[in-house]
Every structure is written in C-alpha cells, then in structure tokens.
C-alpha cells in the first residue's frame, strides 16, 4: 500500500524537475487550473521556460498534446488598469522548453471553437485590439495545434497581426464604411469576410475592397482572397444579410452601404426623347 502511494508522488516530483520533459496528460485541449495541485508540474514547466522573457503575470495556460498555449501580460506600472495590460501569446514546448511568441496585443477576448476544414480538429478563435485609449484596430484569428511542428500557431498572420476586421483610424477627408462577419458555410466550415468602402467625395470615385479569409480544404493552409465581379457582388449580399453569421461576430450590417446593397435605389434618368404625338404648334412653311 505504501509503495502505491509513493509512486504518484515520485512521478509528480520528477515532472516538476527543471530538466524533465513533460507531455500533455490528455489529448483534448484543457485549460490549466492554477489552484489545482495536479496541474502544478505543467505550470512550473511553463514558468521556467518563460523565465528569461519580460512579463508580470501568466494569465492562462492551455495544453494539448506536447505544447502549451500561454498568455502572459505585462503591466507598465503598478497603478496601470488591468484591462490595459499588453499581452503576448506563446507556444511553449512541454518536451524541450522551446518557446515561440505568436502575437501581441491588448484586450484579448476568447471566442468559441470553430471548424475551418472538413474532418479537421476545431480551432480556438479570438478577437483582440492593437491598443487602448487610442484609435484601435481589432483583429480576428484562430489558434491551432500544428502537428508537424509540435507547436501552436495563429491563422492569417501578416506583419505580426491577424486578420483586421475593424479600424478606428479613419483617413481624413474620407467617409469609410466597414462591414464584417464570421460565417459558417453549408459544410460547417468557418470563414471571415470583410468589406471596406471608401467615399472620397469630389476628390475621386469611391472604391471598395472585399476580402475572404478561410482555410484551403486541401493544403490546410490559410488563404486571403480579394473578391470582385459577380462573386464579390454575391458575397456582399450574404455579408449584409448575415444569415450565416456567428452570433456576436458581425458588424456594419445596419450601415447605409448594406441597406443600399440589399435594396438598391436606381435614379430615374430624365427623358429627352419627345413623345410620338408631339407635332408642335406650327408646321414648316406655315403662316401665322
């Protein structure tokens, strides 16, 4: 009986050693409980892996397979508001102490799990902002476990940030309308569509950009496609109706742009051709 009690204690002790490789205790994703004694070996491992980096708190640790998805925050001053803390999301190996920063921002909002390809595992989605107390930009992304690299990665990264869905940085002299929605297609796959319409007034004709962010069903790699023509017109209708939109992940559908897209208003052109029975009051050569 004493030996059976001793082995689990010895196992936990070995896991907590700095040089001991860890592996996820279960394949499904699970958030670590900082108050649970059973999760302390992984929490200790992650803390030591990030020891040389700049952070003031480890906010969350999620584990799947042999890698942890970790959120750290850095408070500028002790008096700074907590919701203004910049965060960094990391992938931390549970076998080699290897760490990799994924992205940075503020105001992280975890969303639900979503499928982006048929037959794949669901991915954890999130929104976050570029800054606080400023004209902020908001981004959408999904976090996935990369089996080939044994690490976590984020979707649609470009220049260190994910897919932009909203911006408070309106260019001067431009009326900028933004519309977006995260939608689900008939096969259950998620995708993001953003529409930006720029009205330059009398300076030049208006312009718009329509993007679709999804995952290629064959390669599993994320795609960013600019839509135009008939395909673009059809997508604008779906975007403005937002019938397939995920609740809480759509904005701009009440704009005048969407109202005109769903119910276009055609201007009546003046008629310049005289009616067929218009003979006038006189005929050529006649006398008054």
- Which pLDDT does position 46 carry in this prediction? 98
Rounded to whole angstroms, the Cα distance separating 272 from 225 reads 44
Q: What is the pLDDT of residues 25-71, one digit of tens each?
A: 456 899 999 999 999 999 999 999 999 999 999 999 999 999 999 99
Secondary structure E strands in the chain:
30-31, 57-64, 67-73, 87-93, 99-114, 123-129, 137-146, 151-154, 163-167, 175-184, 190-199, 207-215, 222-226, 245-251
pLDDT above 80: residue 174: yes
Please give the biggest Cα pair distance in the chain: 132
Residue 158 is classified by DSSP as B
Which residues, other chains included, contact 167 with Cβ-Cβ below 8 Å and sequence gap of 6+?
135, 136, 137, 138, 176, 178
pLDDT above 60: residue 18: no
Query: In this structure, are residues 214 and 192 in contact, taking their beta carbons and an 8 Å threshold?
Result: yes
Angle, helices 40-49 vs 2-16, to 10°: value is: 20
- Which pLDDT does position 15 carry in this prediction? 46
Query: In this structure, are residues 180 and 250 in contact, taking their beta carbons and an 8 Å threshold?
Result: yes
Rounded to the nearest 5 degrees, what angle is found at the Cα of 84, between the Cα atoms of 82 and 90?
Answer: 90
Q: How confident is the model at residue 277 (pLDDT cuts 50, 70, 90)?
A: low
- Which pLDDT does position 8 carry in this prediction? 39
Query: In this structure, are residues 239 and 231 in contact, taking their beta carbons and an 8 Å threshold?
Result: no
pTM: 0.83
Q: What is the pLDDT of residues 90-112, one digit of tens each?
A: 999 999 999 999 999 999 999 99
């Amino acid at each position: 009986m004493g030996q059976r009690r001793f082995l689990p204690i010895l196992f936990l002790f070995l896991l907590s050693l700095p040089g001991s490789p860890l592996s996820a205790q279960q394949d499904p994703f699970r958030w670590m409980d900082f108050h649970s004694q059973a999760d302390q070996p992984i929490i200790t491992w992650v803390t030591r892996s990030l020891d040389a980096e700049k952070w003031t708190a480890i906010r969350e640790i999620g584990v799947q397979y042999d890698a942890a998805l970790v959120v750290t925050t850095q408070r500028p001053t002790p008096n700074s508001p907590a919701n203004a803390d910049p965060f960094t999301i990391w992938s931390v190996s549970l076998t080699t102490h290897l760490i990799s920063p994924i992205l940075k921002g503020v105001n992280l909002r975890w969303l639900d799990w979503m499928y982006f390809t048929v037959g794949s595992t669901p991915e954890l989605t999130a929104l976050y902002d570029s800054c606080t107390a400023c004209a902020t930009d908001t981004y959408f992304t999904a976090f996935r476990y990369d089996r080939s690299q044994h690490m976590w990665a984020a979707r649609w990264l470009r220049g260190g940030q994910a897919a932009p869905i909203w911006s408070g940085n309106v260019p001067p002299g431009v009326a900028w309308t933004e519309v977006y929605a995260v939608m689900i297609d008939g096969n259950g796959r998620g995708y993001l569509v953003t529409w930006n319409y720029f009205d330059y007034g009398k300076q030049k004709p208006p312009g718009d950009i329509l993007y679709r962010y999804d995952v290629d069903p064959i390669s599993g790699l994320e795609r960013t496609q600019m839509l135009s023509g008939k395909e673009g017109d059809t997508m604008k209708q779906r975007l403005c109706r937002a019938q397939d939109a995920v609740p809480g992940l759509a904005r701009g559908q009440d704009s005048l742009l969407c109202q005109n897209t769903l119910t276009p208003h055609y201007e009546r052109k003046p008629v310049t051709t005289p009616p067929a029975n218009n003979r006038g009051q006189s005929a050529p050569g006649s006398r008054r």
